């Protein structure tokens, strides 16, 4: 067999030696017992802190801002939680209040790499080091609009937008341990987070969904979200805002499908609709 034949790894002499070395590496029994005892006494849950802020609400521009918010969020790398902490808190960080300070730093959108075709998005796989997945079902006629990405450490993400009349669907993949803007995963106390098992990559995977978003209202008015302009506003969680998100994780990759209804009479895709998209990612 060739040196690079993956089927030969089991018989590879070095592999055998390394396995033999590995089995000799064992934790000190006293340490193992002490740690087990310590874990038996450790609390099973933890508490969150949230900052209370005065809130404003105006949902009309939130949906359109949602995509922009995602993009801004991913390009502003603040000191962020590690992937392990994201596992601790689920896929959404539910605050104990419905008010939150939403902060996004100034970003010139023209400096963010973009793709204009799905083929170009697929080709990013080599840069990312993880498989780029594209939708094969459930877009309900939405057409690919554009995509933004970053393959530069510490962030590695791809965001693909699909637009239909009165609907925007965004699919993104993020190497979760690289971090993301924490506002994006925060939801208000009144948000209802739904757990659903989906079939992804041939496995049953836990996913979570939430409807709503952070909004604001006059008289302060909707913040201007022109490209390159930062945002620093107190917002209130509003579960009636027509935006629905489905989020899950496999390995170190976080995936999210979000749908926003644009326009007062537009229908928001259901959770089942998002699941169809998620399970159809290839």
Partner 1 sequence: MVSLTAPQAVRKADDQRVRDAFTLIYRQHLNAVYRYVRVRVDSDEEAQDVTAQTFESALGSFRTFRGEADVIAWLFGIARHKVADHIHKHYRRQVLPLDEKSDLIDPLPLLEEQVGIQVQLERVGAALDGLATERAEALRLHLFGGLSFEETAAVMGKRETAVKMLISRGLADLRLRLKQEEKEA
> Which residues of this protein are in contact with partner 1, per CB under 8 A?
3-9, 12-15, 17-19, 21-22, 24-28, 31-32, 35-36, 38-40, 42-46, 82-85, 87-90, 129-131, 175, 177, 195, 201, 203-206, 250-253
Contacts for 225 with CB less than 8 Å, ≥ 6 apart: 61, 65, 68, 69, 231
CB 248 → partner 1: shortest distance, Å? 9
CA–CA distance, 34 with 63 (Å, rounded to integer): 52
Closer to partner 1 by Cβ: residue 18 or 137: 18
Give 106 or 195: the residue with its C-beta nearer to partner 1. 195
CA distances from 80 to 51, 97, 155, 182 (A): 17, 21, 11, 7
Q: Identify which of residues 22 and 226 has a Cβ nearer to partner 1 in the complex.
A: 22
- Measured from the CB of residue 126, what is the shortest distance to partner 1 in angstroms? 12
Is residue 124 within 8 A of residue 156, CB to CB? The reply is no
Closest approach, Cβ 44 to partner 1, in A, equals 5
Q: How far is the CB of 72 from partner 1 (least distance, A)?
A: 25
By C-alpha distance, which of 239, 197, 242, 281 is closest to 64?
242
Instruction: Considering the complex, state which of residue 153 and residue 218 has its C-beta at the smaller distance from partner 1.
Output: 153
Q: Please list the alpha-helical segments (H only) found in the chain.
A: 13-23, 29-41, 62-75, 83-88, 118-122, 125-128, 182-185, 271-279
d(CA 210, CA 246): 7
CB of 42 to partner 1, least distance (A): 6
Q: Distance between terminal CA atoms of the chain?
A: 31
Residue placing its CB nearer to partner 1 in the complex, 32 or 220: 32
Name the residue with tokens 């209802």: 192
Instruction: Tell me how far, at minimum, the Cβ of 273 lies from partner 1, in Å.
Output: 23
Structural tokens at position 75: 């390009």
- ∠ CA 243-246-250 to the nearest 5 degrees? 155
Residue pair 109/71 in contact by the 8 Å Cβ criterion: yes
Nearer to partner 1, 8 or 116 (CB): 8
Is 46 or 54 the residue whose CB approaches partner 1 more closely?
A: 46
Residue 113 CB, shortest distance to partner 1, in Å, is 21
Q: Measured from the CB atom, is 57 or 177 closer to partner 1?
A: 177
Is the dihedral angle over the CA atoms 249, 74, 95, 65 positive or is it negative?
Answer: negative
């Amino acid at each position: 067999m060739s040196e690079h034949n993956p089927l030969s790894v089991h018989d590879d002499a070095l592999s055998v030696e390394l396995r033999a070395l590995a089995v000799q590496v064992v934790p000190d029994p006293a340490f193992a017992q002490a740690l087990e005892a310590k874990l038996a006494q450790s609390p099973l849950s933890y508490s969150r802190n949230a900052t209370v802020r005065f809130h404003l609400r105006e949902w009309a521009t939130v949906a359109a801002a949602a995509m922009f918010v995602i993009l801004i969020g991913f390009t502003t790398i603040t000191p962020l939680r590690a992937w392990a902490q994201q596992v601790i808190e689920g896929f959404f960080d539910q605050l104990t209040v419905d008010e939150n300070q939403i902060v996004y730093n100034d970003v010139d959108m023209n400096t963010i790499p973009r793709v204009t075709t799905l083929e170009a998005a697929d080709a990013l796989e080599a840069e990312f080091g993880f498989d780029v997945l594209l939708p094969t079902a459930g877009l309900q006629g939405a057409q690919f609009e554009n995509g933004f990405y970053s393959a530069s450490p510490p962030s590695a993400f791809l965001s693909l937008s699909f637009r239909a009349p009165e609907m925007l669907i965004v699919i993104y993949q993020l190497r979760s341990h690289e971090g993301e803007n924490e506002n994006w995963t925060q939801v208000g106390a009144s948000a209802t987070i739904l757990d659903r098992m989906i079939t992804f990559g041939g496995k049953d995977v836990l996913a979570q969904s939430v409807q709503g978003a952070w909004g604001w209202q006059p008289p302060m008015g909707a913040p201007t979200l022109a490209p390159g302009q930062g945002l620093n506003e107190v917002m209130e969680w509003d579960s009636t805002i027509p935006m629905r998100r489905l989020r899950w994780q496999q390995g170190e990759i976080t995936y999210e499908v979000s749908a926003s209804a644009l326009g007062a009479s537009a229908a928001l895709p259901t959770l089942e609709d998002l699941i169809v998209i998620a399970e159809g990612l290839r």
